[in-house]
């Protein structure tokens, strides 16, 4: 019994000692100077967060869940020589957790017995097994929100997405030269 209590205490201590759930971003392309053409995605910021465990802390194995993305697409110049981009935001609502990613277990067993009267004796057998069924998770992308963004280069040349963004170096009707940060 003492070993069981120690084991339960160690499992509880390990589960609750996980770090808090944190948000993460990935930027494509990474920092540097780049070029793009009309309709190219020139910046994409993907968002994830740590998969929460049963105690509301980050998953012990470092698994994450998708939370959406923001992308900036170059669309050329408008009639007033301003740089035009489309910004598309997609958010994902989910209740995923370590419990929905890990399969659930159920077991079954069956027994049979047969007997013959006459010259032959009786026979019997049994079978058992385990079935795994995953818990249900809901993952729902919200409808994309697309916004037209126009930059008048003498007035400003930066578009930001959180701590990331891009700065236009030079643009013409077909091509864009920019710096990602």
Q: What is the pLDDT of residues 41-70, one digit of tens each?
A: 999 999 999 999 989 999 999 999 999 999
pTM for this structure? 0.71
Q: Residue 129 pLDDT more than 90? A: no
Dump pLDDT digits (tens) for 135-171.
678 888 888 899 999 999 988 899 999 999 999 999 9
Residue 6 in domain: no
Query: For the chain, what is the domain count?
Result: 1
Residue 113 in domain: no
Residue 116 in domain: no
Residue 121 in domain: no
Pairing between β-strand 83-94 and β-strand 139-141 as defined by DSSP bridges: antiparallel
For the record, the structure tokens of 2 come out as 């003492």
Residue 148 in domain: yes
Structural element, H or E, at residue 10: helix 2-16
Closest CA to 43 of 19, 82, 74: 74
Pairing between β-strand 32-37 and β-strand 103-115 as defined by DSSP bridges: unpaired
35-65 burial by CB neighbour count: b if 16+ within 10 A, else e?
Answer: ebeeeeebbbbbbbbbbbbeeebbbeeeebb
Residue 58 in domain: yes
Residues spanned by the domain of 55: 18-102+136-180
Contact by Cβ (8 Å): 168, 157 = yes
Whole-angstrom Cα distance, residue 1 to residue 7? Answer: 10
Closest CA to 85 of 46, 21, 42: 42
Q: In this predicted structure, what is the pLDDT of residue 138?
A: 85
């Amino acid at each position: 019994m003492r070993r069981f209590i120690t084991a339960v205490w160690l499992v509880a201590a390990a589960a609750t000692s996980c770090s808090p759930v944190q948000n993460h971003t990935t930027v494509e392309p990474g920092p540097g100077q780049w070029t793009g053409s009309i309709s190219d995605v020139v910046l994409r910021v993907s968002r994830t967060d740590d998969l929460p465990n049963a105690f509301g802390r980050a998953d012990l194995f470092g698994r994450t869940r998708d939370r959406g993305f923001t992308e900036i697409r170059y669309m050329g110049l408008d009639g007033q020589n301003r740089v035009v981009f489309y910004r598309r935001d997609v958010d994902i609502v989910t209740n995923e957790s370590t419990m929905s990613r890990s399969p659930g277990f159920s077991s079954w067993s069956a027994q049979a017995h047969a007997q013959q009267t006459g010259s032959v004796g009786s026979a019997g057998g049994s079978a058992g097994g385990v079935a795994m069924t995953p818990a249900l998770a809901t993952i729902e992308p919200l409808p994309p929100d697309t916004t037209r963004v126009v930059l008048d280069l003498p007035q400003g040349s930066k578009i930001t997405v959180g701590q990331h963004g891009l700065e236009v170096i030079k643009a013409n009707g077909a091509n864009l030269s920019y710096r990602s940060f």
